[in-house]
Amino acid sequence: MLRSTSNFVPSADIVPSTSANLYERLKIQTANYNNIKAHFGNRLRTFLNKLFKKKDKTKSLREEMQASGSSEEDIKEAIRSRVYVPCNQMKSTISRKGMPEVGLLDDQSRRKLNAFISSYPKEYVFKENSIYYDAMASPENYFKAFLKLAELSETEEMKPFACFPLRTTFIP
């Protein structure tokens, strides 16, 4: 049985595909920008702590000082001065796109750090001289760096993270 198609009227609520595509692209882009703003700084600090071997150094220093009979207060002060302060200085140097002093990182860690820093163009300058501020102010410049950070984090056997989130719900 044939039906007449001459009376066909398109639905008024159909969105043209180009508008829908632009809208979807904008949602994906916004999700990626928000993800970079929310997580880049913490992921970078975690990665730098791993390169510095902060947890291992703290544990070995604590065990060494406990074996020698040092007080808990002396142990905490030694950990702060020998581990935490140099680690924070290293993170501060890297946040300005610098390389830390030679003794702070081993050669393999320096190579990984250099690979991360090289994900930025040589002439690129961080706003306010801080990678953390710049990531919040200009997340569009951090796609390559965030991807490199995820890749390097996997080589350090850290917990993997999704640098570009997948949407699991449909938003009309």
Residues in the chain: 172
Q: How far apart are CA 56 and CA 60, in angstroms?
A: 6
Q: Looking at this protein, which amino acid is placed at residue 91?
A: K
CA-closest candidate to residue 33, choices 138, 129, 150: 138
Which of the four pLDDT bands, split at 50, 70 and 90, describes residue 159? Answer: confident
Place of tokens 């595909």: 17
Supply angle C-alpha 54, 58, 63, rounded to 5: 155
Q: Is the pTM of this model over 0.75?
A: yes
Lowest mean pLDDT: which of 22-26, 48-52, 75-79, 104-108? 22-26
Supply angle C-alpha 58, 104, 92, rounded to 5: 90
CB 113 within 8 A of CB 94: yes
pLDDT at 11 over 60: no
- pLDDT, residue 26, reads 87
